Amino acid sequence: MFTEASLHLTLRVDGPSVRTVLVRSSRMVQAARLFAGKQPVEVLQLLPAVFSLCGSAQALTGLAAMEKAAAIAASPAQKAARNLLLLAESVSEHGLTIARDWPLLAGAAPSLDHAKRLRHALAGLRKALYPDGDWLHLGGGQLAPDTDAIASIITQCRDTLTQLVGNDLDEVVQPIAFQAWLQRETNPLLALVTSRCWQGLGASAAFMPMPERGPPDLSARLQTDREGIYLARPDCAGRVFETGPLAHWYWHPLLTDLTDRFGTGLMTRLAARLVLLAESLREMAEHAHDLRAEPAAPLPRLDGHGLALTEAARGMLAHRVVLKEGLVGEYQILAPTEWNFHPEGPLVRMLTGAPADQDLELRARLLVHAMDPCVTCTIEVE
Amino acid sequence: MCLALPSRVVELLDDDQAKVDLGGVIKAVSLSLVEDVAVGDYVIVHVGYALTKVDPAEAEKTLALFAEMQASGQSA
């Protein structure tokens, strides 16, 4: 029998506030150890099949780690194609969240049709880049971009998201336009957050964004993590960073404006999703210009060790691989959820000391949503 | 990890819902985000929604790997 991995949050109340926050995780953080002894090509085929929400990010991070291990440099066109696939997955994930989860959190009906159209449009992207299906070929597959199809996919995404938010997305992420959009109360979740004055929820906690190139000690910590303790509870000299849309885009004009007014609280975090969507679509259009047809690269000798980081939908994803005599010797994956839902991490910091009134569970659910776990997270107040 | 557990569709219900079997556990999920799903198909389910259809051979291979993971206790 299989059990779905999950997170469980216990909020222990003492008098008027939350005294302690406990996080229990059943996530299989060492699952990648089973890749040891397999052929790199086999692992690259397994990665997108094994991970449900971030299959492209997992597979492309694995590919990049193996290429580093084998000292292969993918061409700029291959990098552009891979970035397009990564961004497409982020657009699909955050589009789904805004279409399905935002209305549900506010007690409204989800816009599943928009989510379905978005996923349907993006599902054609791999084939539009790599018609032979070899997008995970080491060094780069047979790249034959169908530029019309790619442009059409980006346009369909933009149109669907515009319909979903009821406004042009590029306009919504401008500070003044965002305020005007909020006042029209088009979005039930943001209307709820505004009417309850919850814009600054969680803002009193220290905001520690993940450094752009990851923690400086990442490689060394992974290398010495024999027991998987770092993979389950990562830190950097005792600090637990936050990763995800706000940590990546906090310098964006809309997010600095909202941070000035509400701190790095709930509204700023929700708006960071919209910023990520708008910026991802813009970057996708830019990468589309860097594509060109290329044959598949010859397979090299595979020996060495490599670490690769990517900005996946939920934040920084790291893969470390050691290749020995053409086989995978060691494999480790560090996912964003292990930072964001760390027992001393950003979510726990935001909830510790929170007022223990009748809305506590709902507010906790909104903050859990803002931190965006990639598995189910249940909440208990005791 | 957000592992993709393939579930087999055992019964189609009204309102875009279906019953799926995940390693012996039967539960109801929404089919609102996928198209042309029939009884016997494998789908990837996440928080109560079927997200994608998967090829049965690929699903069996993935389930075998998950069984190996659970047997070796690779959890947090």
Q: Among A6-10, A98-102, A183-187, A228-232, whose mean pLDDT is lowest?
A: A183-187
CA distances to A20, A23, A234 from A9, rounded to whole Å, are 10, 5, 18
- Could you give the angle at which helices A55-69 and A40-50 cross, rounded to 10 degrees? 160
- Mean predicted confidence (pLDDT) in A24-39: 88
Average confidence (pLDDT) over A183-193? 91
Residue B74, SS3 per DSSP: coil
Question: In the numeric block, which tokens belong to residue A340?
Answer: 């964001």
Q: Are A364 and A332 in contact (CB under 8 A)?
A: no
* Residue B46 reports pLDDT greater than 50: yes
Q: Which residue has the higher pLDDT, B73 or B16?
A: B16
Q: Which residues contact A307 (CB under 8 A, 6 or more apart)?
A: A65, A68, A218, A219, A222, A318, A319, A320
Contact A52 B75 (CB under 8 A): no
**Of 3.40.605.10, 1.10.3720.10, 2.40.30.20, 2.30.30.140, which CATH number belongs to B6-71?**
2.30.30.140
- Residue A379: beta bridge partners? A9
**Residue pair A380/A364 in contact by the 8 Å Cβ criterion:** no
pLDDT, tens only, A229-287: 999 999 999 999 999 999 999 999 999 999 999 999 999 999 999 999 999 999 999 99
The pTM of this model reads 0.93
Which of A69-78, A99-108, A214-223, B16-25 has the least mean pLDDT?
A: B16-25
* CB contact (8 A) between residue A53 and residue B76: no
Looking at the predicted structure, is the pLDDT value of residue A293 above 60? yes
Higher pLDDT, B76 or A367: A367
* E strands in B5-71: 6-13, 17-22, 25-30, 42-46, 49-54
Cα–Cα distance between A202 and A354 in angstroms, integer? Answer: 8
- Percentage with pLDDT > 90 across chain B: 42
Please give the backbone phi and psi of residue A321, each rounded to the nearest 5 degrees, phi first: -135, 145
| Predicted pLDDT at B57 | 87
Between CA A131 and CA A121 the distance in angstroms is: 16
Please answer whether residues B61 and B50 qualify as being in contact, where contact means their C-beta atoms are separated by less than 8 angstroms. Answer: no
Q: Among A55, A104, A123, A17, which Cα is nearest to A374's?
A: A55
Q: Is the pLDDT of residue A70 over 50?
A: yes
Q: Is the pLDDT of residue B73 over 90?
A: no
Rounded CA Rg of chain A: 21
Residues A112, A116, A121: CA angle, nearest 5 degrees? 150
Q: How far apart are CA A294 and CA A129, in angstroms?
A: 11
Query: In this predicted structure, what is the pLDDT of residue B64?
Result: 84
User: What pLDDT is recorded for position A270?
Assistant: 97
pLDDT in the model for residue B58: 84
- Parse chain A into domains and list their residue ranges: 1-28+339-382, 30-69+217-233+310-334
Determine the pLDDT at residue A1: 53
Rounded to a whole number of angstroms, the distance between the first and last alpha carbons of chain B is 10
Spatial distance between the Cα atoms of A46 and B63, rounded to a whole number of angstroms: 11
Q: A286: helix, coil or strand?
A: helix
Q: Do A28 and B23 touch (CB under 8 A)?
A: no
Q: How confident is the model at residue B76 (pLDDT cuts 50, 70, 90)?
A: very low
- Model pLDDT, residue A117: 94
Candidate from A5, A96, A112 with C-beta closest to B1 = A5
A69 CB within 8 Å of a chain B CB: no
Is residue B17's pLDDT more than 70? Answer: yes
Which of B33, B47, B62 lies nearest to residue A49, judging by beta carbons? B62
Classify burial at A365, counting beta carbons within 10 Å of its beta carbon; exposed 0-12, middle 13-18, buried 19 or more.
middle
Whether the predicted pLDDT of A2 surpasses 80: no
- The interface pTM score, or ipTM, of the predicted complex is 0.86
Three-state SS sequence of A288-305: HHCCCCECCCCCCCCCEE
Alpha carbon of B52: minimum distance to chain A alpha carbons (Å): 9
Query: For an interface test with B, which of A53, A93, A319 has the most B Cβ atoms less than 10 Å from its Cβ?
Result: A53
Domain positions in chain B: 6-71
Q: How close, in Å, is residue B6 to chain A by CA atoms?
A: 9
pLDDT of residue A186: 82
**How many Å lie between the alpha carbon of B71 and the closest alpha carbon of chain A?**
11
Half-sphere CA count of B1, side-chain side, radius 13 A? 31
| pLDDT tens readout for residues A162-183 | 999 999 999 999 999 999 999 9
Per-residue pLDDT band for B5 (boundaries 50, 70, 90) equals confident
Query: For a pLDDT cut of 70, what percent of chain A falls above it?
Result: 99
pLDDT of A322-380, one tens digit each?
A: 999 889 999 999 999 999 999 999 999 999 999 999 999 999 999 999 999 988 899 99
> Closest by alpha carbon to A164, among A137, A201, A189?
A189
**Residue B60 scores a pLDDT above 80:** yes
The one-letter code for the residue type at A265 is G
Q: Which of A334, A300, A303, A329 is nearest to A38 (CA)?
A: A329
3-state secondary structure (DSSP) of residue A323: strand
Within 8 A by CB and 6+ apart from A176, the residues are none
CB contact under 8 A, B5 and A52: yes
Q: What is the DSSP letter of B10?
A: E
Question: Does the pLDDT at position A130 exceed 80?
Answer: yes
Output the average pLDDT for chain A.
94
- Amino acid at site B70: Q
Which of B5, B24, B33 shows the shortest C-beta gap to A115? B33
**Residues B13-31: b if buried by 16+ CB within 10 A, e if exposed:** eeeeebbbebeeeeeebbb
The rounded percent of chain A whose pLDDT value lies above 90 is 88
Q: For strands B17-22 and B25-30, give the pairing.
A: antiparallel
- A142 C-beta neighbours (distance < 10 Å), count: 17
Contacts of A26 in chain B (CB under 8 A): 75-76
| DSSP character at residue A99 | I
Question: Looking at CA atoms only, how far is residue A197 from chain B in angstroms?
Answer: 29
Among A212-216, A269-273, A298-302, the least confident range: A298-302
pLDDT-based confidence at B75, cuts 50/70/90?
Answer: very low
**Residue of A374 and A62 predicted with greater confidence:** A62
Q: Measured between CB atoms, which of A50, A96, A119 is closest to B3?
A: A50
